[in-house]
Structure 1
Amino acid sequence: MRREAVRVHQTEPALNTKTHVVTVHRASLTGVEAISLRSEHVFPRHAHDHYGIGVMSEGAQKSWSVVGAVEAGKGDVIMVNPGEMHDGSPIQGPRAWHIVYFDPDLLSHELADDERGTDVVFNPVANDQALAGKVTALLHAIQFSEPHEAEESLLTCMLHILQQHRLSGSSKTDKSPPVARAIEWIEAEPDINQPLSALAAASDMSRFQLIRGFIRDVGTTPHAYRMQYRVRLARRHLLQGRPIAETAQLMGFADQSHLTRAFLRQFGVAPGRYLAAR
């Protein structure tokens, strides 16, 4: 049965930017999200649990990615990998893009016979008109077409990226053992604010070495990583039906407002409005 496409449109003045308009589209596929943005918001370094493939429709932006600093302009395809630390800043005015996020399991399932899909790394930017057309078709399909048509469109995009814009095995995704231990420590207890000294001791490093290693391998500080990881976990709890206030307490935020500000800063949309489109 065809599902009606629903859009949640919002302007978020809390971001304190000249322009920030977000439209969250309700998708016809489980494990898939579609979002449109036109914004001057500077997104801090953060990560997603999903792959993302989108098209820039206006302006330009610069961002940090798995391959370092990149720029994308109108017509370029932008891609995000699960767990990849990235950010985004406008270049001379608002920029706009339409993007689809999808669960890594959707890719790993298709590649189950020969490789693990979660090991696939996409190139962050591609100037590829053919792929841009496929992504645009995908955005339309997951909003307005039957699920089987949307699935076919998503698989078509995946195949094109795997054949022409794949960066599997990039050494830039590797982390030193001490930093990897610190990340494991943070992710094991994300709701607890361990002192930097305790985290450094658990990782057999000085505080200076820990911060230097995190910035080198992850692209941000341990505290910033803990905060953005909390937001990612909070998103999962919210999608499972847990109330916002309860989720805030569970994830170690001071209160619901604290979670809302962090969620808005990272994803560009408030949690209540995000859930309204689900």
Structure 2
Amino acid sequence: MNGPAAASPEQVRIWQPAGLPGLQMMQATYVTTTFARHTHEGFGVGVIERGALGFYYRGENVVAGQGRINLVNPDEVHTGQSATEAGWTYRMFYFGAETLQRAAAEMAGRHAELPFFTSGVLDDPQLAALIRSVHLRLEDAAVPLLERQSVFLHMLTRLIARHADAPPAQRPAGREHRGIRRAMDHIAANFSEEISVDALAAVAGLSPYHFIRVFCRATGLPPHAWLMQYRARVAQAMLRRGIPIADAACGAGFADQSHLNRVFKRLFGYTPGQYSNSVQDG
């Protein structure tokens, strides 16, 4: 009698993260699957986590091994198959041309042409680590909207700056103190709500990309980190007043108590429970 069939080593997950319209994400493992010649309407950018992907691209056969970035331009014919017996695992972003063109325009502070990438395989460990990190962050539903939008925009601009054939010259980051002060006041008044990078940039009177750069220069932190720090301080104040941890997490704008726990440990080195006990004992 035959035993149960072995589980397929091939796995695919596809999803669309909230707050980033037009973006599709995928994590997949393929072993025997082969992709026929095809194109995508938009860009595909990913990183190989394990194994190696072989594909035909722009007139040649190329291989993206572990730690390499694989990339396709819109409407560029390509294939796909394993370059090793064990297959490959990768994380992918798929997004429209208008998304990358907007990022390029924000870098330049004016209209910019759609970036083009000659190579389908990039050997850039720093950028590959960033792409994987952003993919993991966007996989976490507890990550605030402001952070999701900020890290994705940062990833796109780094890709353009480092590897586009003709990256736009970046507009110098000024200080714009009044705009940044208005954005900080907006965070303080709306900390428990989902705040978008577009909304903060509009309050500051800047484009989203320029706003993030200027905010970092002025405060030493990106806007999403400033928001998280502000929420953590609000939660501390609530705990000092004896408010239960779960209620403090909700009131300060955290997804749940577990999210508050992680942020406290990362920022302060102790848990909300430890902090609550210390102020009660005092």
Scaled by the length of structure 2, the TM-score of the pair is 0.49
| 2:112 corresponding residue in structure 1 | 115
Q: Which amino acid aligns with 1:102?
A: F
Q: Please point out which of 27, 32, 46 is paired with 2:38.
A: 46
Q: Which amino acid aligns with 2:49?
A: S
Measured after TM superposition, the shift of residue 141 of structure 1 is 2.6
Matches of 1:19 and 1:87 in 2, distance apart?
A: 21
- Residues 81, 31 of structure 1: alpha-carbon distance in 2 compared, 3 angstrom cutoff: same
Residue pairs, 1:241-256, within 5 angstroms: none
Q: Please point out which of 95, 120, 145 is paired with 2:88.
A: 95
**Are 2:59 and 1:59 aligned?**
no
- Residues 105, 25 of structure 1: alpha-carbon distance in 2 compared, 3 angstrom cutoff: same
Q: Please point out which of 16, 20, 23 is paired with 1:32.
A: 23
Comparing 99-108 and 138-147, the one that deviates more: 138-147
State how many pairs are aligned.
Answer: 152
Q: State the Cα deviation string for residues 27-57 of structure 1 (Å, max 9, x = none).
A: 1211111101111211111111121111101
- Residues 165, 35 of structure 1: alpha-carbon distance in 2 compared, 3 angstrom cutoff: same
Q: State the Cα deviation string for residues 53-72 of structure 1 (Å, max 9, x = none).
A: 11101111211113622111
- Runs (5+) with no aligned partner, structure 2: 1-7, 168-282
| 1:128 corresponding residue in structure 2 | 124
The answer (yes or no) to whether the contact 1:79–1:122 under 8 Å persists in 2 is no
Q: Please point out which of 23, 34, 49 is paired with 2:13.
A: 23
| 2:61 corresponding residue in structure 1 | 69
Measured after TM superposition, the shift of residue 105 of structure 1 is 1.2
Match of 1:84, SS state, is coil
Measured after TM superposition, the shift of residue 101 of structure 1 is 0.9
Matches of 2:139 and 2:92 in 1, distance apart?
A: 12
Matches of 2:9 and 2:77 in 1, distance apart?
A: 24
Measured after TM superposition, the shift of residue 107 of structure 1 is 1.5
| 2:263 corresponding residue in structure 1 | none
Q: Which amino acid aligns with 1:50?
A: G
Measured after TM superposition, the shift of residue 138 of structure 1 is 1.5
Q: Which amino acid aligns with 1:35?
A: M
Structure with larger RCO (C-alpha < 8 A, sep 6+): 1
- Runs (5+) with no aligned partner, structure 1: 1-17, 170-278
Q: Which amino acid aligns with 2:90?
A: W
Q: Which amino acid aligns with 1:107?
A: L
The answer (yes or no) to whether the contact 2:103–2:157 under 8 Å persists in 1 is no
Aligned-CA RMSD value: 2.3
Residue pairs, 1:1-278, within 5 angstroms: 19-28=9-18, 29-40=20-31, 41-66=33-58, 68-93=60-85, 94-112=87-105, 113-117=110-114, 119-121=115-117, 123-144=119-140, 145-167=143-165
Q: State the Cα deviation string for residues 185-240 of structure 1 (Å, max 9, x = none).
A: xxxxxxxxxxxxxxxxxxxxxxxxxxxxxxxxxxxxxxxxxxxxxxxxxxxxxxxx
Computing the radius of gyration from Cα coordinates, the structure with the larger value is 2
The answer (yes or no) to whether the contact 2:46–2:131 under 8 Å persists in 1 is yes
- Residues 111, 163 of structure 1: alpha-carbon distance in 2 compared, 3 angstrom cutoff: closer
- Residues 92, 140 of structure 1: alpha-carbon distance in 2 compared, 3 angstrom cutoff: closer
Measured after TM superposition, the shift of residue 142 of structure 1 is 2.2
